Every structure is written in C-alpha cells, then in structure tokens.
Amino acid sequence: MDENNYNDFSHKADVENDGGGGGVMYERKESNASSYSEREAAITEVLLKSRVNNTSQIAIIGANICTIESLDYEYYQAFAAFAGLNMIFAICAAALCALIAPAAAGSGIPEVKAYLNGVDAHSILAPSTLFVKIFGSIFGVSAGFVVGKEGPMVHTGACIANFLGQGGSCKYHLNWKWLRYFKNDRDRRDLITCGAAAGVAAAFCSPIGGVLFALEEAASWWRSALLWRTFFTNAVVAMVVRSLIEFCRSGKCGLFGQGGLIMFEVNSAVPSYNTPDLLAVMLLGVLGGLFGSLYNYLVDKVLRTYSIINERGPAFKVLLVITVSLLTSCCAYGLPWLTNCTSCPVGLENECPTIGRFGNYRSFQCQPGYYNELASLFLNTNDNAIRNLFSSRNKNEFHLSTLFIYFAAIYFLGIVTYGIAVPSGLFIPVILAGASYGRFVGSLLGSISNLDVGLFALLGAASFLGGTMRMTVSLCMILLELTNDLLMLPLVMLVLLISKTVADSFNKGVYDQIVKMKGFPYMEAHAEPYMKQLVARDVCSGPLITFSGVEKVSNILHALRMTGHNGFPVIDEPPFSDAPELCGLVLRSHLLVLLKAKFFANSQVLSEPEFLRMFHAFDFAKPGSGKGLRVEDLDINDDEMEMYVDLHPVTNTSPYTVVETMSLAKAAVLFRKLGLRHLCVIPKTPRRFPIVGILTRHDFMPEHVLGLIPHK
C-alpha cells in the first residue's frame, strides 16, 4: 500500500512537472530553463510533504477505482501549485502587454497584414512591441493558455525586419548607418514581408510554406522580385535552423530540435483509398467549414466583448487574463478526472505511462500500466499533444469520449483566450481542435473507412485550418512540411477546398475579421459593387487646401498646423503660367524639411538651380517610425513668416490623377493596385480650378462611402 501511495504521488508530480500545456518546449529560449526549474521547485515541495502518509486511505484507493471520490488534500494543493504557477506566468505576460506594448496582444498576423496593406498604425512594429511579443509569448505559452507561438513569431519576424529596415532605433541607442538602405515605403514593405515569411519558416520549419504564407495571406502587393526575396530569406532560415539542429544533436541545447526538421512526422500513408474514404474526407471538410465559420463568429463576438473590458485600463486587462488563466487551469486539471484509466497497449509497457520525460502517455491518477487519456492531451506540451493526436501507432489510444471532451474544451478555450492581453497565436488551438475532431470522426468511421485515425486527425486539422483561416496553398505546404507525407496531398487539397468553400459562404477569414474589427482602413483588392454607382467627385471630402508654386511661409505653416493632411496639391498661377494649372503634389514631410532649411526669398521668385545641392537625397528619405520632423520642431520667426518659398523643387510633378467623373470603382482599383496614398481628382471641363480634390485611403472605406449614400 505504501509503495502504491508513493507511486501515486510520483505520478502526480510528473503531471505537474509537464503540465502547463506547452510552456516548457516553447521557442527554444533560455527562459525555458528558469520556468522549468521554478516549477520543479514548487513540485518538489508538494512532493516532499506528501511523503508523510497523511492521505486518506479511502481517497487513495478511490483514486485508482473511482475518480470522483478523490477528495484528497494533496490534490487541492497540487492544483493550487499548478494554477498558481500558471497564473504567475499569465500575470507576467499580461503586465508586459498591458503596460509596455498593448499592440503586442493577440496574434499579430492581422497587424502585419494591415501594415503590408499600407496601414501604419501606432507602434505596430515598434521595438517595444518586439520585446513584449517575444517575452510575452514565452510567458503566455508557459502559462498553459491554449495559444500558439506561430502568429507571434510572424509578428516578431516583421518587427525585427522593421527594426533593421529603419537602421536600428534612436530611442534605444541602437543605430546602424549602414542599414539605412531601406528608405522608401516599398523596400521597407518588402523587408517586412520577408520578415513575416521568415517567421512562418522558423515556426513550422517550413521555408516554402513561409513564402506561400507571405504571398497568400500577408502581402497585399506582390512582385516577382518579392518572391525571390522571400525565397532567399527562407533559404537562409532553413539553413540556419538546419545547422542549429545539427549543432544541438548532441543534446547541448536541451530540447531544441528534438523533432528534427519534420515536426510531426506522419507515417500513416495508406497507399490507396476508395469512395467511402473520400466521402469521409468530404464530411471532414464540411465539418471543418462549419466549425471554422462558427469559430470565427464566436471569436468576433468575444473580441468585441473583451475590447469593452480592455478599454477600461491595464488593471482590467490583467484581471481578464487572470480569469481566463484560472479557467484554463481548471479545465486542464479538472477534466482528466472525468475519464477512467486506460491500460497501456501491448508492447508499449516500457514507455507507458511516461515518467520523468516528455512523451506520449501520462499517468495522472492512474496505476502503473495505465494512463489517463485526457491528461495525455491536456497536461502535455502542445507539440506533444499534436503528436499524440496525429499518431497512428496505437489506434485506440484515445476513446471517443476523450476526444469529444478535449475538442469541446479546446474549442471553447481557444475562443475565450484569443483577445486577452497576451500574445496568442491561433494556429496551435486550431490544429489541436481540428485534429481532435478529425480523430473522433476517424474512430467513429473506423469500420467503413480504411484510412488511419492519425491521417484523419491530420485531415481534421487541415479542414479546421481551412475553415478558420481560409488559406489554401500555404496551408497545404505548411502541413506537408510539418508531416512529410506527400501522398496525402490530394486528400489535404480536397479537404481544404471543401472547408474553405463551406466556410466562405458564412463569413470572412478570421484574420480579415480581426483587421476589420480593429478598425484598420484596409483596402480590399476588389472594389465594392456600390462603388460603381458613384464617381470620384462624390467622395472627395473636406475643404481642399492648395499651395501656389511659390508660397508664403505663413500659409504653409498654417496649413500644416491646422490639418493633418500628408499631401497638398501645388497650383501654378500667373505669372508662372498662363492660367492656374496643377503643378503636382507636395508631401508634408518634404515641406517640413524644406521649411527647416529656411531657404526663403523676399518675393515670389523661383529658386536657383543650385538650391537642391544644399540637400542630400537622404534628407528626403522616409524616416523610421516616430523619427520624422514635426511642425513643432520648426522655429520660424515673424520676419520669415512673411517670406516666400519655392515649392517646385520638392513637388512631385507626376501625381496619378483621375477625372472627376471617373467611376469610383475604377478609381479604387487604380488606388489599390498602384498602392497610392493620394490620388488627385481633376475637373472634366476646362476653365475651372485645376483640382477638385484629393482621394486618400479613408475616402474609399465603406463607412465613409456608405455614409454619403444614406438610402443604400
């Protein structure tokens, strides 16, 4: 009896040791070690206490026979240690997020997507966001939340690219002149696309998948040069990951690279499949579409609720995180009690239950030779849980009830977790939920289909990914590179097709939905149908501010102070032309540089040709985020206010223009395809003022356009 008792607790310690759902293997960072040892200390404490046999004998017997009776004090203590440690990590993550960089919360993929569409929202890619994203994500995964690390890694990649692209950070005294190559929007955008692609490549060890992800999901404008650049980046990522794994093969780096390049190898390829198999796969696709669109719907609702809470301040954010953490701990610790112990499969007695190492079978409250199915999923790293679900080694490893409970719990937790102030990826929760219902369907249809349950789990994951994220080629490729099973490619393609089609009939992809919910002015690739009813002139809004070719300093300064416009039309008037005509467009940032240089004249004269030699090209280059000149930086006295400045040298004399009667839909296509920020609207009939207005991104937003046509 004593020995039994001892065994029992050693298993429990093991449970806690590995618990917390995936924290320990996370991101191959050194902080693993600290979180691991901290937790081990707490567990040892519980373990030492439990050596004294003060447990109720009835409870211990009960634990092995009837789980409901195990009302033991130690179990509460163990739960407290488990939930407490989870909560500490959760609070760390939430505090980082709430106090330092609120932009780091969530997946980060919608933000990167919006940035690459041209939306430069506040501190989306700032160094502080980078810092919080890395460490917040480590804490978040360590806290046992149902969150992934893949989205945050994409955001991290984009942040690093931005950091390098703007030549370091002045604020943090990290500045490299030689990195200042990327001084225009397009190069910087390309670099950030490469960063995002590299994030996927590193997260899934999937270089080609990363290229396709950048192409399909992240980038708004695609050029063949960009394909080549992301490919180059990801080739480097692949080589580096490959050599690190090689370097760490001897065990120098802990658990890093244990899985090798193929993270979830599936060797369950059935060489042939017939009609019932295809029907089963189609069923999975339909299920994935339904579950996926429901998931997106619920995530949207939850996000809207959370945003009300989160707006009330950092304290509320942390409170929300604590609540969700407690809920997660309760599920992870409580649900395994619902299942009975399962006897280890024949031939695997040596490995089952897995003690003192990361592996397949968790004993939880069970006797030696038995394992707890739900604990093997909940109290395991996310990567191991996925491996368990994809495994075809033991067909009956998980019963239907286990898979159902696990699916329901993960589906629910995934929905309530996204949106709290913690960096949280969506890939892992979606793969876990998808794999569990895939395996469920596979077990259910085992009699009529000869496909493996592991393959069913993989197809389930594919269908749910397709149903939520609505990607196709990149998901195919990522799954292929994750599992190294080329023969199942036709099935994965089929399941993705069906799930995406089904889900698309209900709502948009989860990332698109989040972009919209966050209020980013995202330009869609296609024009909306109602735009065909309008012309460009209809949506030009606000008073138009124009400058003369040679303009008074005070007028410019007034315009810069009064408006937030980033571009102003320049009109040439007599005596510089016969009649007023559009000279071009001048940017706010260039005006500021010009005013700062104070090259003013007392009368309306054109400047000398050597004027431009005063400037370097670098002076007009796009500054890093938050580093440009502001109006407040200018120091212009009253005399100078009355002087004139020639705007011709800094005017873009070839702005893209549309005639005022141009269909708004066509103007939107022009704006979007060329990636413009300003589009000049010129009059159709002569003898009028040479410009009607300027269209910007906001003028094409549905809110603005639909506000103009109240009857629609």
**Residues forming the site for a copy of itself (CB under 8 A):** 207-208, 211-212, 215-216, 222-224, 227-228, 231-232, 234-235, 238-239, 242, 246, 249, 261-262, 272, 472-473, 476-477, 480-481, 484, 486-487, 489-490, 493-494, 496-497, 500, 525, 535, 577-579, 581-582, 653-654, 656-659, 661-663, 666, 669-670, 673-674, 682, 684-687, 690
- Residue with Cβ nearer a copy of itself (524 or 608): 524
Q: Is 172 exposed, middle or buried (0-12, 13-18, 19+ CB in 10 A)?
A: exposed
- Residue with Cβ nearer a copy of itself (6 or 232): 232
Sheet with 547-548, edge to edge strand ranges? 547-548, 567-572, 581-587
- DSSP, collapsed to helix, strand or coil, labels residue 397 as coil
- Cβ–Cβ under 8 Å, residues 190 and 218: no
Q: How far is the CB of 425 from a copy of itself (least distance, A)?
A: 22
> Which one-letter amino acid corresponds to residue 639?
D
Q: Is 24 exposed, middle or buried (0-12, 13-18, 19+ CB in 10 A)?
A: buried
Angle at 679 between CA 673 and CA 681, to 5 degrees: 130
- Residue with Cβ nearer a copy of itself (252 or 687): 687
Distance spanning both ends of the chain, measured CA to CA: 78
- Residue with Cβ nearer a copy of itself (7 or 657): 657
> Which one-letter amino acid corresponds to residue 159?
C
Q: How far is the CB of 276 from a copy of itself (least distance, A)?
A: 14
Q: How far is the CB of 219 from a copy of itself (least distance, A)?
A: 10
| Rounded CA Rg of the chain | 30
Q: How far is the CB of 573 from a copy of itself (least distance, A)?
A: 13
- Residue with Cβ nearer a copy of itself (191 or 670): 670
Q: How far is the CB of 235 from a copy of itself (least distance, A)?
A: 4
Distance separating alpha carbons of residues 516 and 114, to the nearest angstrom: 10
Q: How far is the CB of 239 from a copy of itself (least distance, A)?
A: 5
Burial annotation 76-97 (CB, 10 A radius, 16+ → b, else e): eebbebbbebbbbbbbbbbbbb
User: For the range 308-313, what are the long-range contacts, defined as Cβ-Cβ under 8 Å and sequence gap of 24 or more?
Assistant: 310/419, 310/421
Q: How far is the CB of 341 from a copy of itself (least distance, A)?
A: 38
- Cβ–Cβ under 8 Å, residues 136 and 318: no
- Cβ–Cβ under 8 Å, residues 469 and 218: no
- Residue with Cβ nearer a copy of itself (215 or 286): 215
Cα atoms in the 13 Å half-sphere on the side-chain side of 454: 21
Q: How far is the CB of 484 from a copy of itself (least distance, A)?
A: 5
- Strand 567-572 with 547-548, pairing: parallel
Q: How far is the CB of 418 from a copy of itself (least distance, A)?
A: 24
Phi-psi region of 449 (alpha: psi -120 to 50; beta: other; left: phi over 0): beta
Distance separating alpha carbons of residues 21 and 39, to the nearest angstrom: 13
Tell me the backbone φ, ψ of residue 474, rounded to 5 degrees. -70, -40
- Cβ–Cβ under 8 Å, residues 599 and 611: yes
Q: How far is the CB of 260 from a copy of itself (least distance, A)?
A: 8
> Which one-letter amino acid corresponds to residue 254?
G
In the beta sheet, which residues pair with residue 682? 659
- Residue with Cβ nearer a copy of itself (105 or 226): 226
Q: Which residues, including other chains, have CB under 8 Å from residue 272's CB and lie 6 or more apart?
A: none
Q: Which two tokens stand for residue 348?
A: 């695997």
- Residue with Cβ nearer a copy of itself (337 or 576): 576
- Residue with Cβ nearer a copy of itself (181 or 228): 228
Q: What is the DSSP string of 277-336?
A: HHHHHHHHHHHHHHHHHHHHHHHHHHHHHHHHHHTT-HHHHHHHHHHHHHHHHHHHHHGG
- DSSP, collapsed to helix, strand or coil, labels residue 342 as strand
- Residue with Cβ nearer a copy of itself (208 or 332): 208
Q: How far is the CB of 527 from a copy of itself (least distance, A)?
A: 12
Distance separating alpha carbons of residues 133 and 135, to the nearest angstrom: 6
- Residue with Cβ nearer a copy of itself (420 or 478): 478
Q: How far is the CB of 654 from a copy of itself (least distance, A)?
A: 4
Q: How far is the CB of 481 from a copy of itself (least distance, A)?
A: 6
Distance separating alpha carbons of residues 373 and 388, to the nearest angstrom: 10
- DSSP, collapsed to helix, strand or coil, labels residue 677 as coil
Q: Which two tokens stand for residue 449?
A: 């289909």
Distance separating alpha carbons of residues 544 and 331, to the nearest angstrom: 59
Q: How far is the CB of 262 from a copy of itself (least distance, A)?
A: 7
- Residue with Cβ nearer a copy of itself (108 or 207): 207
| CA dist list (Å): 64 to 108, 254, 366, 380 | 45, 34, 6, 21
- Residue with Cβ nearer a copy of itself (186 or 552): 186
Q: Which residues, including other chains, have CB under 8 Å from residue 109's CB and lie 6 or more apart?
A: 151, 154, 155, 196, 217, 218, 426, 511
Q: How far is the CB of 469 from a copy of itself (least distance, A)?
A: 13
Q: Which residues, including other chains, have CB under 8 Å from residue 154's CB and lie 6 or more apart?
A: 107, 108, 109, 112, 196, 199, 200, 203, 213, 218
Q: How far is the CB of 489 from a copy of itself (least distance, A)?
A: 7
- Residue with Cβ nearer a copy of itself (221 or 316): 221
Q: How far is the CB of 6 from a copy of itself (least distance, A)?
A: 41
- Residue with Cβ nearer a copy of itself (303 or 503): 503
- Residue with Cβ nearer a copy of itself (191 or 477): 477
- Residue with Cβ nearer a copy of itself (350 or 654): 654
